[in-house]
């Protein structure tokens, strides 16, 4: 990640790291990351979109280069950060793309602030993540062993073993992202995931919605993606057959083109005049 392009927005109790790529006068696509990553996880995706979109990516509160405020966090709070960011940047509407935790934030944002969305893309995510004991165990592991205590297992959940063997750069890259996490920020974010239950509110989402699932994803399964598709009225489901949890890394071209086609289909045809 080129740190010289990273900027910071001062909110009430924290600073949020963000970055723009692409033409100033193009439709805005907002990218929201998965848990324990920073916005460099989108580096392989961005090049597919630079001639069409103005891409805004940011680090979630408590993650990456953003500050860690006192936790625990809630999805409503993390969604509120997105609203404040758009207001401070004077952006009226965006196409929201979120992966995993980012997709959970996207659901909350669409429920609360649908008037700020052109479209919504929910990738490798779910509307609830039981059981609570799983997240409580994760909390205990990092308190006793640090982020290294969950790094190895996390990579096995995120990627297919064959992918990790044939793409040697990614295990080190994502392990480093995980290890750089602030423990307090991680715990605050997993509390938001643990306590999330969007299933009864998804009917409120009326904007055009694309759901992307990885057939090999054992973290947020195809079954959970089908639930989102069933509960969100104007939604479409795409299943990437050879992808696990971080599908934008395993299948960068298929992932990027599916989203671009969907957004353009909604009437966002590229660079705007002006």
249 phi, psi to nearest 5 deg: -85, -45
Strand boundaries in 127-259, DSSP class E: 209-214, 235-240
The pTM assigned to this predicted structure is 0.95
| The pLDDT of residue 130 | 86
Choose among 91, 76, 73: nearest CA to 30: 91
Residue 45 has a pLDDT of: 96
Q: Could you tell me the CA-to-CA distances from 252 to 41, 44, 159, 199, 246 in Å, in that order? A: 11, 7, 13, 29, 10
DSSP 160-171: -HHHHHH-THHH
Asked if 14 contacts 69 with a C-beta cutoff of 8 angstroms, the reply is yes
Distance CA 109, CA 196 (A): 13
CA distances from residue 135 to 108, 122, 141, 202 in whole angstroms, order as listed: 20, 22, 10, 23
* Under 8 Å between Cβ of 58 and 38: no
Angstrom distance (rounded) from CA 107 to CA 110: 5
What backbone phi and psi angles, to 5 degrees, belong to 211? Answer: -115, 125
Hey, what domains does the chain have and what are their CATH numbers?
Answer: 3-265 (3.40.50.1820)
Look at residue 12 and give its three-state secondary structure.
coil
Three-class secondary structure of residue 99 per DSSP: strand
User: Which helix or strand (DSSP H or E) is residue 261 part of?
Assistant: helix 252-265
pLDDT at 234: 83
What pLDDT, on a 0 to 100 scale, did the predictor assign at position 152? 84
131 preceded by a cis bond (ω within 30 of 0)? yes
pLDDT (0 to 100) of residue 4 = 57
Q: Among 53, 72, 46, 51, which Cα is nearest to 61's?
A: 72
22 vs 124: CA distance, rounded Å = 25
Site of tokens 């599916």:
258
What tokens appear for 82 in the block?
Answer: 């997105």
Structure tokens at 57: 């990516």
Q: How far apart are the first and last CA of the chain?
A: 30
pLDDT in tens, the chain (274 residues): 444 589 999 988 899 999 999 999 999 999 999 999 999 999 999 999 999 999 999 999 999 999 999 989 999 999 999 999 999 999 999 999 999 999 999 999 999 999 999 999 999 999 999 888 989 999 999 999 999 999 989 999 999 999 999 998 999 999 999 999 999 999 999 999 999 999 999 999 999 999 999 999 999 999 999 999 999 998 999 999 999 999 999 999 999 999 999 999 987 554 433 3
């Amino acid at each position: 990640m080129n740190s010289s392009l990273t900027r910071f927005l001062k909110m009430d109790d924290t600073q949020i790291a963000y970055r723009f790529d692409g033409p100033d006068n193009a439709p805005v696509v907002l990218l929201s990351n998965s848990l324990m990553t920073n916005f460099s996880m989108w580096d392989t995706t961005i090049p597919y979109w630079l001639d069409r979109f103005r891409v805004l990516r940011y680090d979630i509160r408590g993650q990456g280069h953003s500050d860690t405020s006192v936790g625990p966090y809630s999805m409503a709070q993390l969604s509120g950060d997105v609203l404040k960011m758009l207001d401070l940047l004077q952006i009226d509407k965006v196409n929201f793309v979120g992966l995993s935790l980012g997709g959970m934030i996207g659901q909350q944002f669409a429920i609360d602030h649908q008037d700020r969305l052109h479209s919504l893309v929910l990738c490798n995510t779910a509307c609830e993540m039981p059981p609570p004991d799983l997240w409580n165990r994760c909390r205990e592991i990092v308190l006793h062993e640090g982020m290294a205590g969950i790094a190895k297992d996390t990579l096995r959940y995120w990627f297919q073993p064959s992918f990790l063997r044939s793409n040697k750069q990614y295990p080190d890259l994502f392990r480093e992202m995980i290890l750089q996490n602030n423990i307090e920020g991680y715990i605050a974010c997993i509390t938001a995931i643990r306590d999330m239950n969007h299933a009864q509110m998804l009917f409120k989402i009326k904007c055009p919605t694309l759901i992307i699932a990885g057939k090999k994803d054992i973290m947020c399964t195809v079954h959970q993606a089908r639930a989102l598709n069933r509960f969100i009225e104007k939604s479409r489901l795409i299943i990437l057959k050879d992808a696990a949890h971080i599908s934008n890394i395993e299948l960068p071209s298929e992932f990027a083109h599916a989203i671009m086609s969907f957004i353009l289909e909604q009437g966002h045809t590229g660079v705007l005049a002006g």
